[in-house]
Amino acid sequence: MLFGYARVSTKDQNLHMQFDALQKYGVDEKNIYSEKITGTKKDRPAFTDMLKYLREGDTVVVYKLDRIGRSTKHLVDLINDFQEKGINFVSINENIDTTTAMGKLVFTIFSGLAQFERDIISERTKSGLDAARARGRKGGRPKKDQSKLDMAFRMYDSKEYSIQEMLDATGVSRATFYRYLEKRSS
């Protein structure tokens, strides 16, 4: 049986492209496990749930390697665990299929390259932030004007304004409003 796993790192991103690719590959929609959580998190509930259903002969399909593995070591350990249990692995984007010797070789090479790419991005980001700090810039998201957020929430709580009217009046973006609304209700 084919099982799909799709993941994006933030709630603002969507899973449509991954779902489309998994279904085109042949994964039934009811067998696709998805979540919006950073890949660096150890606790990924949908992923853990999928693992409970895997049996010998099943195949786990992902759109890209970085959707399933937190690091090269984690990815290699995971695929080795799958192989010990007789579970196959397919990464559509990298054209990896561990049922073949070539697929196993390609997996090993690509997992090393994926880790290398993450390390390079991390190094560039750190260097860029260091250079910006040296020039007096802080980096990160700019802080929102609390008075505008407060006004947006007063308008929201009054139930007299549509979301769009409220956003237009305060200048707060939709994503920012919903992010703060989620924090507020937690």
* Residues involved in catalysis: 9
At which residue do the structure tokens 């990896």 appear?
A: 96
SS3 of 171, please? coil
Work out whether strand 88-91 and strand 59-62 pair parallel, antiparallel, or are unpaired: parallel
Cα gap 62→2, rounded to integer Å: 10
- What string of DSSP letters covers 35-91? EES-TT-S--HHHHHHHHH--TT-EEEESSGGGT-SSHHHHHHHHHHHHHTT-EEEE
In the chain, count of helices (H) and strands (E)? 7, 5
Q: What are phi and psi of 171, to 5 degrees?
A: 80, 10
The 10 Å CB-count burial string (b at 16+, else e) for 166-183 is bbeebebeeebbebbeee
The CA distance from 76 to 32, in Å, is 22
